[in-house]
Structure 1
Amino acid sequence: MRLSTAQREAVRDVEAICSQEADSRQLRRRVAARLSRLVYWDAACFGTIDPWTLLITDDVSFGVPPHVYALAAHNEYMVDDVHKFVTLARSGAGVGILSRAPGELRQASRRLRTVLPTFDARHEVRAACVTDGQCWGAIALFRNGDQPDFSSAEAALLSAVSGPLAAGLRRTAYRPGAGVGITADRSGPGVLILGPRNETLTINDTARRWLDELTPSLPRHGSELPYAIHQVAARAQARVGEPDHTDPHTTEPTGPPVPRIPEAYARIRTRSGRWLTVHGSRVEGALTPDKGTAVVIEAAPASDIAEVLMLVHELTRRERQVLQRVIAGTPSSAIATQLHISVNTVQDHLKSIFSKVGVRSRGQLVARLLGQHYLPDPG
């Protein structure tokens, strides 16, 4: 569908926002504000997605109350439904209007019957934000029953801005010069045990501290948990009884992973700029007779940060292979042997990596990629 003049102007404005804004949450707020001039909504969610696990890791929401988070996460990962973000990202469709889904699928939609009514929504349009085969974000817009449904023209606008938004979210995943480092944390990992409805049964002090880091703006009240925790917990519950899956850390991803239910694992950027990993697994015992979820939060290892930053800098598959070995301290001759290429080819890949990252040497490369995010402050 051809975009109108006003829509084309909006796309250009979103492209400009995504090329200039350095903060992910502010970027999403500005994009939302620009889109709202052409697309009305009663509630909305602009989320970031881990491109390896396709878990939603953060959200900027408007009109979506926190009590909906657990229910929405349960729907996204534990039941069959139409227009899941994973499906939109992998299918190439990108955008889906709930009412335009085939009749049987729409009528069977548990999201339409159980999630949307909790905040008086009736109409929904969703978009997966994909660039270079990787999904970095998601948009969900809602209207109540007093408003008309979303139109094809509005869906076309979301489709047009989803690519620039994905590129912007990829770029803001790493902010050169932010000066934020993850130093050694001797307090150990944060641990939460959640009940069957994601209520907090027990939590240690470290987990409380990390949860405050993950809460984007307003203080947490009572048992409210950040959206990302609900996402990981729902994925952990969904994986029960599934066969073993390929570990995303031992393979070279060329696009979104393809296991039926990926790991209950996400890398998340905190308010202060730190990188954390969040793991989820099913547990049962005296505290959780109905089976609950254990969630572990800890500082991200260097390998996890490197994986994300390789995508941020748009490295090719072979460049990622070379960089992984550079980070490990492997000399060029050994890299050539391991990858069955010549030393000259290794040097060509290194030159390309240096250019993309903006450095001139191996030492600068490692410092640029990991120094601001992981390595302890030498002072």
Structure 2
Amino acid sequence: MNAKVDAVVRACRVASSEVALFEAVSDQLHDLVPFDGAAWFATDPATLLGTSAVRVENIGTGHCESYWERECLVEDALLFRDVARSSPGVGTLYDVTGNRPASSARFREYLAPQGYGDELRAAFRLGTTTWGVLDLYRERSRAPFTAGDREQIQQIVPPVARALRAFAAGTRSPAAPAGPGTALFDARGTLLSLDAQAEILFAEIGGPDWRAFPATMTPVHAITARATAVVLGRDPGPAVTRLRAASGRWLSLHASRLRGPDGSPGPTAVTVEPARAEQIAPILVAAHALTPREQQVTRAVARGLTSQEIAAELFLSPHTVRDYLKTIFAKVGVSSRGELVATVFAYPANEG
């Protein structure tokens, strides 16, 4: 590992939050793979939609709002879903288009108007789980990204992904207020109306200036775009995502495109509420890097089974089950079955 990559790894180990992680890695990455603009997103592992943990560098006004609309509604080269599924997990626009970037709608309508030429995208992936995505841009005056650049990015993907996973695993939430909030958006993503609870929870997501729709409101842009994609048949749905708000609490967003009595297109309804235990458990299980067998044992513990009962159900010896429990306790950072269930399944968002 060269010294510049090692500096990125060190930055990952000391970051205090997802946004601080992106800032620290970006500072080091400029020396490793030069770039002129960037977008960094933590993602919901199940949907790959961006959360409120965002870093945006040198992206023009107006382009942030349409970013996830393009991602969800325009069939294009190098979409994040394709990058995450690809073997390398990293790709460049010049490479995938055969040095014909203008064949990409994103290049014509997003990159070129801002003076950018090539684009490099990466998925911060561990195994098959993606914890974040990266979008780097180079000005047209610069040479495109190279195979060497892609290899350098591949080297930093695991430590960044591990850091993002660790933030998810370490999240603890305060008690939640009662009831969901609802907001309506028009076809262009403009807020039409909302109730008092939605206003409270949107402020939790986007901060005190959420009405200006800063980058921290990315999940709202993303979920409304996904809802439109579902209606158009471009995505199987449902339009649901989970995110960690600035408060440290996990929230759930659900969006659906409404219709008028005559079938005409209506606004998009977004429901935002504290996430339920069953919604967050899969993220926490993945965040603690439990193997499939360890997940089976953990679910059995949550059901109240004894070691002997777990052994019989999974065709293991009781001794093997106890070994699994020791490993699971160490990974999750608990010392008892009760703590394990409370940490992974008894999510406190429904308390109040």
Residue 66 of structure 2: aligned partner: 71
Residue 56 of structure 1: aligned partner: 50
1:33 paired with 2:27, answer yes
Letter in 2 for 1:174: A
1:237 paired with 2:228, answer yes
- How far apart, CA to CA, are the structure 2 residues paired with 1:349 and 1:206? 43
1:173 paired with 2:164, answer no
Whether the aligned pair in 2 keeps the contact of 1:67 and 1:224 (CA below 8 Å) is no
Which residue among 159, 163, 177 is the counterpart of 1:185? 177
Alpha-carbon displacement from aligned partner over 1:41-93 (angstroms, at most 9, x marks no partner): 33211111222222222321112246323422122122211111111111112
Q: CA deviation at 1:302?
A: 1.3
Residue 253 of structure 1: aligned partner: none
Residue 140 of structure 1: aligned partner: 135
- How far apart, CA to CA, are the structure 1 residues paired with 2:157 and 2:141? 27
Letter in 1 for 2:44: D
Structure 2 residues not aligned, in runs of 5+: none
Residue 339 of structure 2: aligned partner: 364
Q: CA deviation at 1:24?
A: 1.3
Whether the aligned pair in 2 keeps the contact of 1:276 and 1:300 (CA below 8 Å) is yes
Residue 91 of structure 1: aligned partner: 86
1:100 paired with 2:91, answer no
Residue 150 of structure 1: aligned partner: 145
- How far apart, CA to CA, are the structure 2 residues paired with 1:335 and 1:242? 43
- How far apart, CA to CA, are the structure 2 residues paired with 1:280 and 1:340? 42
- How far apart, CA to CA, are the structure 2 residues paired with 1:376 and 1:196? 35
1:318 paired with 2:312, answer no
Whether the aligned pair in 2 keeps the contact of 1:50 and 1:136 (CA below 8 Å) is yes
- How far apart, CA to CA, are the structure 2 residues paired with 1:335 and 1:345? 10
Greater shift, 272-281 or 142-151, is seen at 142-151
How is 1:190-229 mapped onto 2 (pairs within 5 angstroms)?
A: 190-215=181-206, 219-222=209-212, 226-229=217-220
3-state SS, counterpart of residue 210 of structure 2: coil
Whether the aligned pair in 1 keeps the contact of 2:227 and 2:237 (CA below 8 Å) is no
3-state SS, counterpart of residue 91 of structure 2: strand
Whether the aligned pair in 1 keeps the contact of 2:5 and 2:32 (CA below 8 Å) is no
Greater shift, 149-158 or 89-98, is seen at 149-158
1:353 paired with 2:328, answer yes
Letter in 2 for 1:98: L
Whether the aligned pair in 1 keeps the contact of 2:276 and 2:350 (CA below 8 Å) is no
- How far apart, CA to CA, are the structure 1 residues paired with 2:237 and 2:114? 29
- How far apart, CA to CA, are the structure 2 residues paired with 1:69 and 1:330? 49
Is the alpha carbon distance of 1:339 and 1:238 closer, same or farther for their aligned partners in structure 2, counting shifts above 3 Å? Answer: farther
3-state SS, counterpart of residue 39 of structure 2: strand
TM-score, normalising length from structure 2?
A: 0.88
Greater shift, 221-230 or 271-280, is seen at 221-230
Which residue among 299, 302, 326 is the counterpart of 2:277? 302
Alpha-carbon displacement from aligned partner over 1:346-374 (angstroms, at most 9, x marks no partner): 33322221121222210222344467854
Residue 246 of structure 1: aligned partner: none
Letter in 1 for 2:181: G
Is the alpha carbon distance of 1:86 and 1:19 closer, same or farther for their aligned partners in structure 2, counting shifts above 3 Å? Answer: same
Is the alpha carbon distance of 1:185 and 1:333 closer, same or farther for their aligned partners in structure 2, counting shifts above 3 Å? Answer: farther
3-state SS, counterpart of residue 268 of structure 2: strand
Alpha-carbon displacement from aligned partner over 1:327-350 (angstroms, at most 9, x marks no partner): 344444554555455544433322
Structure 1 residues not aligned, in runs of 5+: 244-259
Q: CA deviation at 1:224?
A: 5.5
- How far apart, CA to CA, are the structure 2 residues paired with 1:302 and 1:173? 14
Q: CA deviation at 1:122?
A: 2.8
Whether the aligned pair in 2 keeps the contact of 1:200 and 1:223 (CA below 8 Å) is no
Letter in 1 for 2:91: G
- How far apart, CA to CA, are the structure 1 residues paired with 2:13 and 2:298? 26
TM-score, normalising length from structure 1?
A: 0.82
Number of residues of Structure 1 aligned to a counterpart in Structure 2: 349
Whether the aligned pair in 1 keeps the contact of 2:182 and 2:271 (CA below 8 Å) is yes
Residue 8 of structure 2: aligned partner: 14
CA RMSD of superposed structures (Å): 2.8
3-state SS, counterpart of residue 294 of structure 2: helix
Letter in 2 for 1:191: T
Percent of aligned pairs with the same amino acid: 32
